[in-house]
Amino acid sequence: MWEAWWGTRGLTTMKALTKTDFHFDGQKSVYHGKVRDVYNINDDLIVMVATDRISAFDVVLPVGIPYKGQVLNQIAAKFLDSTSDICPNWKLATPDPMVTVGLKCEGFRVEMIIRSILTGSAWRAYKDGCRELCGVKLPDGMRENQRFPEPIITPTTKADEGHDMNISREEIIKQGIVSAEDYAVIEDWTRKLFARGQEIAAKRGLILVDTKYEFGKRDGKLYLIDEIHTPDSSRYFYADGYEEKFEKGEPQRQLSKEFVRQWLIDHGFMNQPGQKMPEITEEYAKSVSDRYIELYEHITGEKFDKATEEGDIAARIEKNVKEYLANRK
């Protein structure tokens, strides 16, 4: 299913894929996440479709964002390829601009969040007096958008429903969510992946502020899974002007989903009881789409190819994935 957005003069149609219902050969099940639809093929492969849905405050917004799925999928594919020397990852192929096919792993019920700057939800907690985040002590006297002396890891437990919860390394091991041995490995990988992401971002005039990684196991071997370094899982600041804006206490110019969260906050919505989702207009959806494309071009240094969104998106995906799976046999 796709939504059509008519441009202000009625001349252009922007499409957004917000729902999928594919039936691939060997398909065992499908999981519809907040943003991605994950198809299990013979308990061996995963077909992950990056839809144009967008979520904030653990709720999916009622409108899709054109090109968003393609942006996320293509950025993630590039970063998975450019970090494969650090750790093995699940990716096998990207048979369609909105799809990655890879190895099915048993994912850990934890997200490894790593932060280099005090901002976003961490700043909101700090401002309210929090001085320990996921077992990590935070110094007094920090300001919004200030760099930490070194990046801190603040994991959360993955929730099927509702909010992900902050958790410390000690609790993760104590609760048996991840063994001490495996945790030591994924913690090391998290720091190395983040350092690589920061290096790549710096070459493009960006600062990788914070991000999250997910890991899993297959046949006893650890893998990096899901996506990495996209605007949905990461926050980027522009390096140019960062210090000046920080000194003046001005908001940073950023490329991330935080601007959507901030827009919702400004419109009185944080998914609290009794709050109503504000109307998302065509103009606003297009502005979000433009921000995602801007990040793609900035982070990859390549022009974004919009041609892939012409025609029936779902039919194109189905054809490309079926061809890939047939050729693997």
Residue with tokens 């009622």: 62
pLDDT digits (tens, 9 = 90+) for 279-295: 998 899 999 999 889 88
pLDDT digits (tens, 9 = 90+) for 41-80: 999 999 999 999 999 988 999 999 999 999 999 999 999 9
Percent of the chain with pLDDT over 70: 93
For range 299-327, the mean pLDDT: 90
Please report the pLDDT score of residue 162 as a whole number: 60
Please report the pLDDT score of residue 258 as a whole number: 78
pLDDT at 7 over 60: no
Question: What is the CB-side half-sphere exposure of residue 155 using CA atoms within 13 A?
Answer: 24
Q: Place 240 in a pLDDT band, splitting at 50, 70 and 90.
A: very high
CA distance 38 to 17: 15
pLDDT digits (tens, 9 = 90+) for 190-230: 999 999 999 999 999 999 999 999 999 999 999 999 999 99
User: pLDDT higher for 5 or 47?
Assistant: 47
pLDDT at 5 over 80: no
Candidates 264, 227, 221; CA nearest to 56 is 264
Q: Place 254 in a pLDDT band, splitting at 50, 70 and 90.
A: confident
Q: Residue 212: helix, strand or coil by DSSP?
A: strand
Average pLDDT, the chain: 91
Whole-model pTM? 0.89
CA distance 223 to 202: 26
3-state secondary structure 73-125: HHHHHHHHHHCCCCCCECEEEEEECCEEEEECCEECCEEEEEEEECCHHHHHH
Q: Which amino acid is at 104?
A: K
Q: β-strand 59-60 against 110-117: which pairing, if any?
A: unpaired
Q: Which domains does the chain have, with CATH numbers?
A: 2-104+263-328 (3.30.200.20), 107-256 (3.30.470.20)
For range 120-138, the mean pLDDT: 94
Candidates 212, 216, 214; CA nearest to 231 is 212
Query: Residue 233 in contact with residue 55, Cβ under 8 Å?
Result: no
